Amino acid sequence: MRHPISRRRFLKSSAAIAAGSTLPAWFLEQSRGHAATTKPLSPNDKPNIALIGCGGQGRYDTTLAAQFANVAAVCDVDSKHLEDASKQFGGAKAYKDFRKVLERDDIHAIINGTPDHWHTLINIASMKAGKDVYSEKPLTLTIDEGKRLVEVARETQRILQTGSQQRSDSRFRLACELVRNRRLGQLKHVITSLPAGPRGGPFSPVPVPTELDWDFWQGQTPVVPYVRERCHGSFRYWWDYSGGTMTDWGAHHNDIALWGLGLERSGPVTIQGKPLVGMIPGGFTASSEYRVEYSYANGVTHTCQSNSGNGPDGSVRGTPKPGEIPHGVRFEGTSGWIFVTRGKIEASNPAFLTEPLAANATRLYASNNHMGNFFDCVRSRKQPVCDVEIGHRSVTLCHLGVISIRLGRKRNWDPAKEQFVKDSAADKWLAREQRKPWTYNLS
Ligand SMILES: NC(=O)c1ccc[n+]([C@@H]2O[C@H](COP(=O)([O-])OP(=O)(O)OC[C@H]3O[C@@H](n4cnc5c(N)ncnc54)[C@H](O)[C@@H]3O)[C@@H](O)[C@H]2O)c1
């Protein structure tokens, strides 16, 4: 079906989205005054925050947070990272143990930049200690962790923003609003394309660097000899600590898929996944290339697949294999498709983007500044754009993909009960055993 639009209006607005990199003028106009506008605050008016996990992302987040908050403490189990962060944030008091940070009454919120296997323990302890939380994605290590986290946020009435910042990127919101308002006719299929992971190895144990407490870093996960590639930065390519790019990038693009589907507090009903390559014994364990098929109760199907044309950080490293597409989210309906990724939105028919939505169209939560939105909500006590349940449900979709890749056959899922349908073998994968003394009841 061709979308009705006058030629004059089409030419005027299509100029504004040349190359798909600029947002259409009508969307910018309609978004004005619609999005929260967070302004930097004076020092006396700022809450005190602590950064827990001072690696690359935690420090980046805290640089953004410093516009809205005083950085009062930094915490890391690697003394070198800790020292660097303390210097970077004006001599903020340095801690090795996050439990000591949480004892401080003058800290109002924390930024959690630890690896995935630490997110939930620290987030639960922080909320129980009365702190609001900006937590990096993927929000959890298991589905069971997410259920616990949602409950604690409810009980403690704390604000938790998940660091899936594409929710505060207007291009992704535009795509989801168009899809929700049936710009593509009936939505039929969604493709989330995620960068392929590395397939390195085998790796050998080496002495633990003197600055690192390897036992503390491992936390609830099984004790293994120190291997450099298991630790800083590349922990995400090991099942023990994360889910590979399926959770690393899935926490971004699968999050957008659920937003467009209008199922951000629900999930799929079937999942079937498989690895596309074998991993090297003694090397990274998380599947580097994979394909997962989901279906939803409304009949929409969803393929989540790796793209070997993108490196793990999202950069272009080659030509996609047949059937692969560059990383991003593609919505397909009876009238055509929309593809959205970082810095780009495209459609099978340019008019899908340039024709304004009606005044009474469904509009989605508008945030143009992910960190600013968190601090707005810390003040207003309203829910942020990627609240705890959304963060949990988005990564649940990814965890289901991982479970299915690892188990092989098709699984049925009950998104209301958050368990597999009559499948106790698969239900065992909802949680993991925790190494003592680490539990979810630390405070
Ligand atoms: N939102 C995004 O776009 C984005 C981008 C990159 C990373 N991330 C996420 O940020 C998180 C951190 O990633 P990274 O690349 O910065 O990792 P990293 O390995 O560079 O940093 C993690 C830091 O946490 C520290 N740490 C580990 N256990 C700790 C504990 N118990 N207490 C205190 N510190 C501890 C480590 O020593 C390290 O300094 C990951 O969950 C990742 O998925 C998000």
Give 330-360 pLDDT, tens digit per residue: 999 999 999 999 999 999 999 999 999 999 9
Of 267, 245, 207, nearest in space to 116 by CA: 245
b/e 55-77 (16+ beta carbons within 10 angstroms → b): bebbbebbebbbebbbbbbbbbb
Instruction: Decide if pLDDT at 57 tops 60.
Output: yes
Pocket test for ligand 1, best of 60, 62, 77 (most atoms within 8 A of CB): 77
Provide the pLDDT for residue 22: 78
Spatial distance between the Cα atoms of 354 and 15, rounded to a whole number of angstroms: 9
Spatial distance between the Cα atoms of 53 and 24, rounded to a whole number of angstroms: 39
Amino acid identity of residue 8, one-letter, is R
Of 128, 153, 155, 157, nearest in space to 139 by CA: 153
> Of ligand 1's atoms, which has the minimum distance to the CA of residue 121?
31
> Of ligand 1's atoms, which has the minimum distance to the CA of residue 98?
32
- Residue 221 burial class via C-beta count within 10 angstroms: exposed 0-12, middle 13-18, buried 19 and up: buried
Upstream peptide bond of 138 is cis (omega within 30 degrees of 0):
yes
Contact 306, 433 (CB under 8 A): no
Pocket test for ligand 1, best of 136, 145, 167, 313 (most atoms within 8 A of CB): 136
Q: Looking at residues 433-437, what average pLDDT do you find?
A: 96
Provide the pLDDT for residue 180: 98
Instruction: Decide if pLDDT at 369 tops 60.
Output: yes
Rounded to the nearest angstrom, the distance between the alpha carbon of 55 and the centre of ligand 1 is 5
Of 297, 290, 285, nearest in space to 272 by CA: 290
pLDDT in tens, 166-209: 999 999 999 999 999 999 999 999 999 999 999 999 999 999 99
Residue of minimum CA distance from atom 15 in ligand 1: 233
pLDDT in tens, 380-426: 999 999 999 999 999 999 999 999 999 988 999 999 999 999 999 99
> Of ligand 1's atoms, which has the minimum distance to the CA of residue 163?
1
- Residue 169 burial class via C-beta count within 10 angstroms: exposed 0-12, middle 13-18, buried 19 and up: middle
Contact 98, 118 (CB under 8 A): no
Provide the pLDDT for residue 443: 57
Confidence of residue 29 (pLDDT cuts 50, 70, 90): confident
Provide the pLDDT for residue 8: 39
Provide the pLDDT for residue 31: 75
Provide the pLDDT for residue 35: 53
- Percentage of residues in the chain having pLDDT higher than 90: 89
Provide the pLDDT for residue 45: 79
Instruction: Decide if pLDDT at 308 tops 50.
Output: yes
Of 78, 89, 87, nearest in space to 51 by CA: 89
Instruction: Decide if pLDDT at 1 tops 70.
Output: no
**Secondary structure of residue 185 in the 3-state scheme:** coil
Instruction: Decide if pLDDT at 7 tops 50.
Output: no
* Phi, then psi, of 39 in degrees rounded to 5: -105, 145
Give the pocket of ligand 1 (CB within 6 Å).
52-58, 75-78, 81, 98, 113-116, 118, 136-137, 163, 165, 216-217, 219, 232-233, 235-236, 248
> Of ligand 1's atoms, which has the minimum distance to the CA of residue 75?
33
- Percentage of residues in the chain having pLDDT higher than 70: 92
Provide the pLDDT for residue 18: 38
**Secondary structure of residue 9 in the 3-state scheme:** helix
Provide the pLDDT for residue 26: 85
Query: Counting runs of H as helices and runs of E as strands, what totals does the chain give?
Result: 15, 15
Instruction: Decide if pLDDT at 46 tops 50.
Output: yes
> Of ligand 1's atoms, which has the minimum distance to the CA of residue 212?
37
pLDDT in tens, 313-336: 999 999 999 999 999 999 999 999
Pocket test for ligand 1, best of 54, 57, 168, 235 (most atoms within 8 A of CB): 57
Contact 416, 96 (CB under 8 A): no
> Of ligand 1's atoms, which has the minimum distance to the CA of residue 164?
1
Spatial distance between the Cα atoms of 261 and 256, rounded to a whole number of angstroms: 8
Upstream peptide bond of 437 is cis (omega within 30 degrees of 0):
yes
Amino acid identity of residue 136, one-letter, is E
DSSP of 79-132, one letter per residue?
HHHHHHHHHHTTTPEEES-HHHHHT-TT--EEEE-S-HHHHHHHHHHHHHTT-E
For residue 197, the tally of other CB atoms under 10 A from its CB is: 26
Provide the pLDDT for residue 38: 56
DSSP of 264-276, one letter per residue?
TTS--SEEEEEES
Instruction: Decide if pLDDT at 263 tops 80.
Output: yes
Instruction: Decide if pLDDT at 11 tops 70.
Output: no
Ramachandran sector of residue 138 (left: φ over 0; alpha: ψ -120 to 50; beta: rest) = beta
* CA dihedral over 85, 91, 94, 100, signed as positive or negative: negative
C-alpha to C-alpha distances, 329 to 10, 30, 87, 172, 259, nearest whole angstrom: 25, 24, 39, 9, 11
The residue count of the chain comes to 443
Rounded to the nearest angstrom, the distance between the alpha carbon of 326 and the centre of ligand 1 is 26
Percent of residues in the chain assigned helix, strand, coil, to nearest 5? 35, 20, 45
- 253: tokens are 């693009």
Spatial distance between the Cα atoms of 33 and 49, rounded to a whole number of angstroms: 28
Q: Looking at residues 248-253, what average pLDDT do you find?
A: 98
**Secondary structure of residue 331 in the 3-state scheme:** strand
- 26: tokens are 């009508």
DSSP of 209-221, one letter per residue?
PTTB-HHHHHTTS
For the chain, the maximum distance between any two Cα atoms, rounded to a whole number of angstroms, is: 69
pLDDT in tens, 104-124: 999 999 999 999 999 999 999
* Phi, then psi, of 310 in degrees rounded to 5: -110, 135
Confidence of residue 40 (pLDDT cuts 50, 70, 90): low
Residue of minimum CA distance from atom 8 in ligand 1: 57
